[in-house]
Chain A
Amino acid sequence: MLIEICQMAVMEELHEIKLFGRGGQGIVTAGNLLSEAAAHGGKYAQSIPTFGPERRGGPSICSLRISDKPILLRCAVTTPETLCVFDPTIWHFINILLGFEGEGKMIFNTQHSPNEIEEVLTEGKYGYKLTGSGYEIWTLDATEISTRILGRPITNTTMLGAFSKATELVEMKNVEKAIGKRFPTAAEDNMKAAEEAFNSIKKL
């Protein structure tokens, strides 16, 4: 069944996002929860992880698309406008800016401030450089929040709150719905962590 939609309308409303983390941190789950939360909000969404026999600790990347219109693309995101970095060091050795055109939002789980992150990225300390002026850098210490509330440094649900606040693409009530469905017995704590992230994330 082919869905006929106007390309211009689609282009305007399509948001392409990449999530970065390490195997075992729940990046795939985070992508699924975010797309499900977006769907609860009446949007179309799709999360495409790099599928494979991934090792715990190795890099894990997930492509996410959110749109008001049905999504025709069936491939990984190559020009993301939003980056969400779940692991505080993953960006030291993989180029998270690949395809990022200097315009959009970047969310970091880090102890550093947005200013400090900007400095490191524009200096090109890790072999790739941030250019452009249309970017926004958001930071929070999701590892601390997760460890304190959930008892372990798994940041996937915590980062959902940060994503919701920074991008406004998913509402917290829909994040709650998605978390409740996925983790029926641990929903309360996971939601608490997401809410704290929502309230504590800072912008450059």
Chain B
Amino acid sequence: MTEQFFTGNRAAAEAARLARAQVVAAYPVTPQTSTVEYISQFVNNGEMEASIIRVESEHSALSAVVGASLVGARTFTASSSQGLQLMSEVLYFASGMRVPAVMCIANRTLSMPVNIWADHQDSMVNRDSGWIQIYAANAQEVFDNILQAYKICEDEKVLLPAMVCYDGFIVSHVAERMDVLTQEQADMFLPELNGSNRPLLDPKEPLQFGEVVYPDWYPDFEYKKHKALLESRKTMEDVAREYNELFDRPYGLVENHMVEDADIVFVGLGSLTSTTQWTVNELRENGESAGLLKIRVFRPFPDKEIIEVCRNAKVVAVIDRDIGYGTAGMLFPDVTRALYPLDERPKCLNFIVGLGGKDITPETIMKIHKIAEKALRGEEVETVNWPDARIYD
């Protein structure tokens, strides 16, 4: 293990190199671009043995990755924002053909108006594409999660693709101290992909992927895909345990901070959880009863872990860095659905913040806390709140 000073994008490229990804296809889009630039450098310098397929669009990039994966290669791609939207059609092909591809997403909002900065709109609108979604809060987590994602996806009980998402610029372009595994350590954790656990394209034994399935059988396919994604959580826990045993870095499906006796629990994902953790510490110093539930794995959704923490809380403040126009944030309905079966439910509030890269500061979280406190006192508050937007009434 060596200590390095890397950005989130560099961390992603290093993870792809150490995972010995064999085929990389991507199309440039801010703020993802430097990830694939680093990979091109590695390949050029002989530090990584991979074929880089140059393509004319993200649609083709993911199509190339799916093809390479179907002949048995370990693949890597990266995208953001509009690029991910252009991949959208192929996302469903990848999960439907049970391709264990890994993609990193440097989260950026969707136009219009044009904006290149971070929010989770791009990955959130693709949350139901059958991909595993993991959210990282810093460069170290980007690195660790990509390596773990390969092991999870390639498990024969899973065989699904995964996105590792992290905030554009605020994680992708901020350099920080992190530990990078040596090639020997990475190989020990992630053995060579042998492909024997799944059907592969082979001219000697012809197969067809992506066939037509008639209505009578279609639900069966969909159920199997859904079940595989739900059950991948078991593999995720095993992989995280093994990673921790080897490298002493623990990861959970969710990660909790000071939730045991908390009246108000903040729920969020991505780098905003780091600033929220800071603010929870501040609140605790001031004698307030607050805690943080950080969602690392968003798909499959960690119902059980969320119920376990939130059932004891009085107010659950779900922080969304995205908006489902006409309803609420996109994390909020999943949290409330998970809590619905409880006989006594906490009050659930939704906060839309940080859209289009608006800085999420301790003051932002304090504003959320103020509204949550009102609800705690039994006062009437809106369910969906926009604490950092100018509201023109």
Contact = CB atoms under 8 A, between A and B. Distances in A.
A73 B278 contact: yes
B271 A74 contact: yes
B174 A1 contact: no
17 contacts: A1-B140, A1-B251, A2-B256, A35-B5, A46-B174, A52-B116, A53-B116, A71-B176, A72-B274, A73-B274, A73-B362, A74-B138, A74-B167, A74-B274, A75-B362, A76-B359, A78-B363
Contacts of A81: none
Interface of A: 1-2, 4, 7-8, 10, 32, 35-36, 39-40, 44-49, 51-53, 71-76, 78
B67 interface: no
Nearest to A49: B173
Contacts of B255: 1-2
B149 interface: no
Considering the complex of A and B, which 9 residue pairs feature the smallest CB-CB distances, nearest first?
A: A7-B281, A72-B278, A51-B169, A75-B361, A74-B271, A2-B255, A75-B359, A39-B5, A74-B274
Given A35-B175, A45-B177, A72-B278, A1 B141 contact: yes
A6 to B, nearest CB: 8
B357 to A, nearest CB: 8
Contact of A75 (B173, B277, B360): B360
A53 B359 CA distance: 17
A75 B275 contact: yes
Contacts of B284: 7
B89 interface: no
Contacts of A40: 5
B5 A36 contact: yes
Contacts of A49: 173
Contacts of A36: 5, 175
A45 B176 contact: yes
Contacts of B256: 2
A103 B200 CA distance: 66
Nearest to B284: A7
Interface residues of B, number: 41
Interface string B334-364: 0000000000000000000000010111110
Given A1-B250, A47-B175, A75-B361, 7 more contacts: A1-B255, A44-B176, A46-B176, A48-B174, A52-B117, A74-B137, A74-B167
Contacts of A51: 31, 116-117, 169, 173, 357
A74 B360 contact: yes
A33 to B, nearest CB: 10
Contacts, number: 82
Nearest to B115: A52
A49 B250 CA distance: 30
A7 B285 contact: yes
Contacts of B282: 7
B294 A78 contact: no
B315 interface: no
Contact of A78 (B5, B140, B141, B361): B361
Nearest to A72: B278
B272 interface: yes
Q: Please indicate which of the listed interface residues B257, B275, B359, B362 has the most CB atoms of chain A within 10 Å of its own CB.
A: B359
Nearest to B172: A51
B170 interface: yes
A52 B140 CA distance: 24
A76 B275 CA distance: 11
Contact of B144 (A1, A4, A7, A53): A1
A73 B360 CA distance: 9
B198 interface: no
B224 interface: no
A49 B169 CA distance: 9
B234 interface: no
Contacts of A45: 176-177
Contact of B275 (A4, A47, A74): A74
B367 interface: no
Nearest to B357: A51
A36 B271 CA distance: 21
B54 interface: no
A74 B170 contact: yes
Nearest to B272: A74
B374 interface: no
B292 to A, nearest CB: 8
Nearest to A32: B175
A90 to B, nearest CB: 21
A48 B174 CA distance: 6
Interface string B237-276: 0000000000001110001110000000000000110110
Contacts of A1: 140-141, 144, 249-251, 255
A32 B175 CA distance: 7
B274 A47 contact: no
Nearest to B258: A4
A146 B206 CA distance: 67
Interface string B114-143: 001100000000000000000001101100
A36 B249 CA distance: 23
A4 B257 contact: yes
B198 to A, nearest CB: 30
B284 to A, nearest CB: 7
Contacts of A35: 5, 175-176
